[in-house]
Amino acid sequence: MPVEVGFVGLGAMGVPMAEALIDAGFRLTVYNRTAAKADALVARGARRASSAAETAKPGGIAITMVADDAALEAVSLGGNGLAERLGPGGVHLSMSTVSPALSRRLAEVHARCGGTYLAAPVVGRPDRAKARKLWILISGPAAAKERVRPLLDAMGQQTFDLGEGSDGANVMKLVNNFLIMSAIEAISEALVMAEKGGLDITTVAKVLTSSLFNSPMYQNYLDIITRNAYEPPGFKLKLGLKDIELVLRMAGEGSVPAPTASLIRDRVLEGLARGMGELDWAAVALVAREDAGLKR
């Protein structure tokens, strides 16, 4: 019999991840606050739920891919939340980028209900989700991780085990996103310097990605910025604010000075103030250009 899985959160990442599971033979029950976002999955055989809780069967597996801490709390807690609905033997596979503190809290709640919470945020944009090429970070109890491994294999190309603590994968994801945002800021400033120095930025990007910066991350963001390709967004700038604020909160909890993260937060806020919230988070490059007197 096909394994039945609940899936909550059908945004730009959630839909291709759910499609990968359907293609791998899993039977999905799906829910999204905007019900129409489930239409394509229902057409492919998924069952539509009327609430997040309805996606979960007692003792089963439910996946969440929601926007932030508040959304994850809303679908997980309370009498109609996933924790109580899954109950004994249930596994909540949380694949959102959320705070380590919330993962610790939800792990405790699920444990009291007899179930297990796994943190499993992903690295990669929607194109990688569609290609089943995500990198998946996971932490939590070993037995539950083994139970969900076939799902992870269907959605991603590689899974990294960050231990049995409830929040290790979230810490890793925030470190990862901090480095991405730092690189975007550095790329933005470097290209502005190059352009004002009389160089063609497409040539600059080619030199960089053909030598020391020959990596998928630099290739991707240099391409986006040099082509001015901020729409459609792979990850919106307004969501980038959420991530950098999570980084700063984590740093504060550990008494870790994070001056670069503070600078990036200010740059993102500048972009939001200039109406760039719906653009790709690489649009901080537009802020750098405008600050340097170049046309947007």
DSSP codes joined into one string, 195-223? HHTT--HHHHHHHHHTTTT-SHHHHHHHH
- Calculate the CA dihedral of residues 217, 93, 130, 210 and round it to 10 degrees: 10
CA–CA dist 18, 154 (Å, integer): 10
Q: What radius of gyration, in Å, describes the C-alpha atoms of the chain?
A: 20
Q: What is the DSSP letter of 256?
A: -
Residue 174: CB partners within 8 Å, gap ≥ 6? 97, 100, 243, 246, 247, 250
Q: Classify 68 as helix, strand or coil.
A: coil
Q: Are 137 and 172 in contact (CB under 8 A)?
A: yes
Residue 65: CB partners within 8 Å, gap ≥ 6? 7, 8, 9, 10, 11, 13, 14, 17, 95, 96
Phi then psi dihedrals of residue 159, to 5 deg: -120, 130
Continuous segment of H or E residues that includes residue 84: helix 82-86
Q: Classify 254 as helix, strand or coil.
A: coil
Q: Which member of 145, 173, 236, 242 is catalytic?
A: 173
End-to-end CA distance of the chain: 55
**Residue 57 is a catalytic residue:** no
Only one residue has tokens 């229902």, namely 42
Pick from 58, 50, 1, 49: nearest CA to 28: 49
Only one residue has tokens 């705070």, namely 99
List, by residue number, the catalytic residues: 173
